[in-house]
Amino acid sequence: MKILKVSRQNFKKVLEITINLIQKGKVIICPTDTVYGLLADATNKKAVKKLFKIKKRENKRPLPIFVKDLKAAKKLAEIDKATEKFLRKVWPGKMTVVLKRKKGAKVFGVDRKTIALRIPNYKLISVLLSKINKPLTGTSANISGKKATTKIKAVISQFKNKKVLPDLILDAGNLKKSLPSTVIDLTKKKPKILRKGEKIPKL
């Protein structure tokens, strides 16, 4: 399991390596604006399958997806004007929103009818999303059932000596203390908070 320290000095190099690996269908552990996350190309079935194995996550449990902007979100989900207004208030940031999935949206590891999207507020991922120009998985870097974490040592120890390993861990040290993102369901008439994270929106 390869570990690469991230610093301002090697940011461009780290970016190059990460883009190359994601384009090849690899799975990366990466810092985010909440906790450490598992990134893979969400349009690559093989990569997503590998991620499920790494995380030991049940296939029927859909993954949240990172998108680069509202335009990218609209390619994957049904977004009306009222929803767009709400999304503009909470994105980019620590808010994952469950929306109705667009028919024919080519993305794996998600529900057939709904999709959970987020625009993270984190430079490394923002640049990755814009350079790769594809949605990426946005799930926390932990074995299912274990805690998501901001601590790099806790991340590494969870995946050590496992059969299926991430292809690369980007070590940005310990992140600022944070909960995973808030998850809000906008698929029904009445919005519903499915998970309380750092920021709770006014509904």
201 in any annotated domain: no
In a domain, 200, yes or no: no
pLDDT attached to residue 116:
98
What pLDDT sits at residue 17? 97
Q: Is residue 117 part of a domain?
A: yes
Residue 114 lies in a domain: yes
Tell me if 78 is assigned to some domain: yes
pLDDT category at 198 given cuts 50, 70, 90 is: confident
**Cβ neighbours for 151, distance < 8 A, ≥ 6 positions apart:** 174, 175
Element (H, E) at 131: helix 123-132
pLDDT of residue 200: 73
**Rounded to whole angstroms, how far apart are CA atoms 170 and 168?**
6
202 is a domain residue: no
Look at residue 203 and tell me if it is in a domain: no
94 band by pLDDT with thresholds 50, 70 and 90: very high
Strand blocks (E) in the chain? 2-5, 28-30, 37-39, 65-66, 95-100, 114-118, 136-137, 139-140, 168-171, 182-185, 192-195
Looking at residue 86, its pLDDT comes to 94
| Phi/psi at 116 (5° precision) | -100, 120
Cis peptide preceding 120, ω within 30 of 0: no
Q: Which two tokens stand for residue 113?
A: 């009818």
**Position of tokens 């450490």?**
36
Helix (H) / strand (E) element for 82: namely helix 81-90
> Residue 5 — very low, low, confident or very high, per pLDDT cuts 50/70/90?
very high
Residue 203 has pLDDT above 80, yes or no: no
pLDDT at 131 over 90: yes
| pLDDT attached to residue 189 | 87
What percentage of the chain exceeds 90 in pLDDT?
90
Q: Look up the CATH number of the domain holding residue 185.
A: 3.90.870.10
What domain count does the chain have?
1
What is the sign of the dihedral through the CA atoms of 108, 135, 104 and 97? positive
Give me the chain's average pLDDT, please.
Answer: 95
pLDDT tens-digit map of 44-90: 999 999 999 999 999 899 999 999 999 999 999 999 999 999 999 99
Range of the domain at 191: 2-195
Percent of the chain with pLDDT over 70: 99
**DSSP state, residue 77:** B
Check residue 73 and give its pLDDT.
98
**pLDDT at residue 1 in the model:** 82
Is the Cα dihedral 158, 56, 120, 184 positive or negative?
negative
